[in-house]
Amino acid sequence: MGNGSARQSGVPGCRSVLLAAPSGFCAGVSRAVETVERALTRYGAPVYVRRQIVHNRQVVERLQHAGAVFVAEVDEVPAGAVLVLSAHGVAPGVREAAADRGLRVIDATCPLVTKVHREARRYAELGYDILLIGTPDHDEVIGTAGVAPGRTHIVDGLEAARVLEVADPGRLVWLAQTTLTVDETERVAAELRKRFPGLQDPPSDDICYAAQNRQAGAKLLAGASDVVLVVGSANSHNSCRLVDVARACGTPAHLVDDPAAIEDGWLHGAAVVGVTAGASAPAESIGAVIAELAARGYRDVRTVEVAREGQHFSLPRELAASRP
C-alpha cells in the first residue's frame, strides 16, 4: 500500500483519484496513428499496416474500422498497395521485401527507435558487438537486432547478462529497448559492466523520454495511492512496465484495457486510486476509466504533473504536406 494515501484524501471516507500527467499517447504514437489516418485520407482504403501500428487494442480496432488492414508480414500485402510500417521499427530485410513487392511504403517508425537503429549500425560498422537489453520477441527488439544480426546479442534480464559469452570483450557496446524501466536496465547494464569492464555505454539515453516520464509518474502515484490502475493493453510493453514500477514500490497495481476490467476487489478499502496510462493508450480509454471510477464513488480527480512534454515529430515525408 502507498504511504499515507488515505491521509492525503483529507476527509475520512472521501474517495479520490490521482491522475498522472503525462499519461497516454507520446509523440511517437501520435505520429504513427496520424500516419495511418492520413494515409487512408490520401490513398483511400485499404491501407495495409505491418503488425499493430501501436500496441493498443482500441486504436487498432478504430483504424480497422476506418479501412486499415493489419498484416503480420509483407507477403500478405497485394503488390503495389500502400504499406505503413509500425512505430516499433523493422529490420532492413522487411523494407527490402516490401520494395521487391513494389509496395508504396510509409515508415511510421518512431524517430527515437530510428536513433537506436543508427547507433546499432554505426557500432557494427566499427566492429563492435552490440548487447541489446530488451525483450527478444518484442517487435522493436526484433527490428533493432535485425540492423546488425551477426553482431547483436539480446540480453533479456539479469540472468542473461550473467551467462552471456562474446567473442571479443574489448569491443562491446550496450543499447536498450526504448520502453524498458530505467532501474531494471541500469541493474542489467551494471552486471554487464562487471563482466565486461571495457563495455561502452550508449552514446545517448536509449530509454525514451515518454517511458521515463510515465515511469516517474507511476512511482509518484505508488507513493500516494492505495492502488494504481495503468490504462493499456496487455501487449503494450511500456504499459506493463508501469505496473512493474508501481508494484516495485510496494503498491498493488493492475493493467486495465477498458473499464470493464476493473475488479471490485482491487478497490476494496482504497481511499485513493492512482491512474496512469501507457504511451499507446488513447485519451478516450483514460477518460472511460476515470468515468467508471466516478461511477464507483471516486469523483474527486486531481492531476499530479511529473513533467511537461512538448515533443512533436513531423509526419513521414510522403504525408508531411497533408498536415494542416
Q: Which residues pair with 17 in a beta bridge?
A: 273, 301
Q: d(Cα 187, Cα 161) in Å, to the nearest integer?
A: 10
The one among 238, 239, 251, 276 contacting ligand SF4 by CB under 6 A: 238
**Neighbouring-strand partners of residue 107:** 85
Task: Please measure the distance between the N-terminal and C-terminal CA atoms of the chain and give it in whole angstroms.
Answer: 47
Q: Which of these is catalytic: 37, 119, 140, 318?
A: 140
Could you count the other beta carbons within 10 Å of the beta carbon of residue 156? 17
304, 217 in Cβ contact below 8 A? yes
59 phi-psi bin (left φ>0, alpha ψ -120 to 50, beta other): alpha
Q: Report the residue number, 145 or 270, with the smaller CB distance to ligand SF4.
A: 145
Please list the residues that pair with 253 across neighbouring strands. Answer: 228
Task: Report the C-alpha gap between 164 and 202 in whole angstroms.
Answer: 19
Query: Going residue by residue from 257 to 286, which x/- string records binding to ligand SF4, judged by CB under 6 A?
Result: ----------------------x-------
| Cβ at position 282, least distance to ligand SF4 in Å | 13
* Catalytic-residue membership of 140: yes
Residue 178 binds ligand SF4 (CB under 6 A): yes
* Pairing mode of beta strands 172-176, 129-133: parallel
Size of the site for ligand SF4 (CB under 6 A): 15
Q: Which of 60, 145, 175, 211 binds ligand SF4 (CB under 6 A)?
A: 211
Is 29 an interacting residue with respect to ligand SF4 (CB under 6 A)?
yes
Min dist. Cβ of residue 322 to ligand SF4 (A): 21
Is the omega angle on the peptide bond into residue 22 within 30 degrees of 0, that is, cis? yes
Residue 87 contacts ligand SF4 per CB under 6 A: yes
Q: Is 141 in the site for ligand SF4 (CB under 6 A)?
A: no
Give alpha helix (H) positions in 135-254: 139-145, 158-163, 182-195, 209-224, 237-248
Residue 85 interacting with ligand SF4 (CB under 6 A): no
Residues 100-119: x where in contact with ligand SF4 by CB under 6 A, - otherwise, as a string = ----------x-xx------
Of 83 and 208, which has the nearer Cβ to ligand SF4?
A: 208
Stretch that binds ligand SF4, among 4-12, 22-30, 57-65, 281-289 (CB under 6 A): 22-30
What is the Cα–Cα distance from 281 to 59, expressed in whole angstroms? 8
| Catalytic positions | 140
Q: Where do contacts with ligand SF4 occur on this chain (CB under 6 A)?
A: 26-29, 87, 110, 112-113, 178-179, 208, 210-211, 238, 279
